[in-house]
Structure formats: structure tokens, C-alpha cells
Amino acid sequence: MEKFLRKLYQKFVLYQKQALLGDIKFWFGVDKLKIKKEVLLDFYKNFWRPTFFGFLSFLKNIIYFENPFSLIKKYATDNWEMWYYLDFLRKEKIIEIEKSGKVSLLKKELKNFFPPIFKQKEIKKILEKKLKKRIKKEKPVSFLFELKVKKDYDQLPISQESAIFVAKKIYDYLPLNKKFLFVGDDDFISVIMGLLWPKFEAVVVDVDEDLLKKINQFSKKFNLKIKTKKIEIENSKKKLKGKFCGVLLNPVYTERGVKTFMKFGLSHLSQDGGFVFLELGDEVIGNRFLFLQDFFTKNRLIIDEIVANKIYYPYLEIHQEDKILGKRLREIFDEKFLERNPRLGAVLFRFEYIPFLVKKRKLKFPMYAYL
């Protein structure tokens, strides 16, 4: 099936390139310009050509959503891109489209091949059934997997509700059943994803041997396809075998921590592209985020999505600073109120990794020419 999809991708790139050459003369601002064919081909190669994994992710979502126009909001795209996918897939007899807007899958085996898309309620139900525990959304995820938090490793568990959200978000875009990399996983997202879909394959790297041992225990108990490896990211020059379709990073929330984890994760993505998920809270970074934005660009990472208000860390007193601040807060609030409220919020960034070099073109076009 993967060979079939690679051929389908090559066909789509050729189809879209030729279709754009014919259609671009109708686009606003471009209709009045005389642009050479070789310039347009160069633009397509650099700016519009999708990666293999980007193509698969979009294809997967077309299959899962009966109304394809819902993807315009999800991917922040337009009718033109939607048209090219629908027209191509219809001509290739992958899908069938009804006048009412419903899309039906003709090549049924694709639905079983792609990683599934879950609803959060569905994830909660599956986890409670398999773990035989009730999900308590505001409690730390470490409670669910019985991990003792270690302050020396800067561990701080997100809430169970947050962990479910992160797992769902990765499955939304996971393009293929290729190995997924977790750089740090004291939130057990790898285990959650393995419990949801038995075909899921992952490698978890972390410095905490007890954490890795706990993940291995769950992997063995539920027959999950998760491998672990002890690595201290900052000092390690080790590389893992094989390439990955994506990576989840939960780094130290400092500029250096983000860059160090990012470099390790990016070094393991393939020439097919990949998706990078980054959990990041602003404890001390502040305006240094400008330097991180520059780092993302230099490493060919496109920020496709930023989700706030979904990831938070329940109130726990782990470090000395927590106890000092906790004492001050208890002068104003009672204990039960503090337990119900978060200690720290984080944002989930989703990047698409572009594996090929994108060259900037300096051509004088009007601002309103949509090229």
C-alpha cells in the first residue's frame, strides 16, 4: 500500500503542477501579468509542491470527513487546493462525490491503512476500559500511570485532559504507520496512543530509567509497539536507527532547552517530510521567542497551528519555588481552590517539516498578485 501511495503522490504532483499552469491565469492579480512558464514551474517546485507526508495527511482527512469543505477551515486553505485534491482523487477512482457534497471512499482498504482519527470522548472511553481506571481530567496524568515525579529531572505532569488532547491532535495529522518519536515522555502520550491503536509504533527517549521502565511495563502488558532508549539529549551524540514520520517534544521550557530537543528530533525526520509537535509554556522565555522563531525558519519548520487553552499542569508543589509561592497563595486562597486550578499553561505548536531547500525568489510583482 505504501508503494501505491508513493506513486499516487508522484501522480498528484504532476497533475497539480500542470493544472496550476492552466489555472493561474485566472487568479486575482496574476491575470494581468505575463509570466514565463519556467518561472511558474520554479514557483511550484519551491512554494506549492506538497511533501509526501503533507499529501498523505490531507488525503487521510478527506477520507475521514464526509464534507471535504470542512478541511478548508482545518488547514486554513482555499477552494483551489480542495478542488485539485478532489478532482485528482475522483479521476484516480479513489473517491466518489455526490452532488449533496458527500464524499465516499471507493478504495476501502485505505481507511484501514491510515492511522485513525479519534474524538476526545472516544479516547476517554477506550482508556478507561483498558486501564480499568476512571479518567479524572484535572488530575495529573502521572496519577493515571502511577509514576512518581522526580524533581531532579524537571518533571511536571500535564493534566489527564491535556494528555488526551495531545494524543488526539497527533492522530489528526499522523500521515502513515511509520515510527513516531517521543523526545521526553513523562506524560505517557506514547502509551495512550498505543492503547488507542495497536498498530501504532513509537520510540521514546528519556534520561529517566524509571520512567522508561514504567513505559516498558505498559508496553509489555498491552502488547504495544513501543521501544525505549535512555539518552541524555544535551550531551548525547547518539542517533537512533531509522527515520520517523513525526516527533513530539516536551523540552525544558528555556530557549536552550527548546533548541536542543528540536535539533535532536529534527535529525531523525525523513526526506518525506514530517510533523513536529511541540509543547511549550512561557515560564522564562519571554521575548526570546523571537530567537526561537528564527530557529524554526532556519530549520525549515512551518508553523501550521498554535493551540492555546488546551494544555495545563495541575497544581503540585515539587520544587522549593513551588512551596514558597504556594505558601503565599494560601494566604489568599484556600487549599481546595488551589487544587482545582492550574499551575502552568502550555501551548501546542504543530509544524510541518519541509525536507527540501526552499529558495527565495526576487521578482517584482504587484502586492495583490496571488502568486
Range of the domain at 27: 2-113
List the CATH number of the domain containing 257: 3.40.50.150
Strand, coil or helix: 232: coil
Whole-angstrom distance, CA of residue 178 vs CA of residue 269:
11
Do residue 342 and residue 295 come from a single domain? Answer: yes
What does pTM read for this prediction? 0.92
User: Mean pLDDT per 10-residue run, the chain (371 residues)?
Assistant: 93 94 82 82 91 94 85 86 92 90 87 91 96 92 84 77 96 92 94 96 94 95 96 82 92 92 94 95 88 96 94 81 86 86 89 93 78 79
| pLDDT at position 152 | 66
What pLDDT was estimated at residue 151?
Answer: 64
Please count the other Cβ atoms lying within 10 Å of the Cβ belonging to residue 300.
16
Q: How far apart are CA 315 and CA 343, in angstroms?
A: 5
Are residues 274 and 247 in contact, defined by beta-carbon separation less than 8 angstroms? yes
Q: Are residues 127 and 108 in the same domain?
A: no
CB 104 within 8 A of CB 50: no
Do 314 and 290 touch, CB atoms closer than 8 A?
no
DSSP 8-state symbol, 267 = T
> What is residue 153's predicted lDDT score, i.e. its pLDDT?
58
Amino acid 33: pLDDT: 78
Select from 88, 113, 138 the last residue of a domain.
113
pLDDT value of residue 54: 94
Q: Where are the alpha helices (DSSP H) in 44-198?
A: 52-64, 70-74, 79-91, 109-113, 120-131, 141-145, 160-173, 189-196
Provide the grid cell at 302: 512551518
Considering the domain architecture, whether residues 51 and 126 belong to the same structural domain is answered as no
Quote the number of domains for the chain.
Answer: 2
Q: 158 is written with which cell numbers?
A: 500535564
In a domain, 98, yes or no: yes
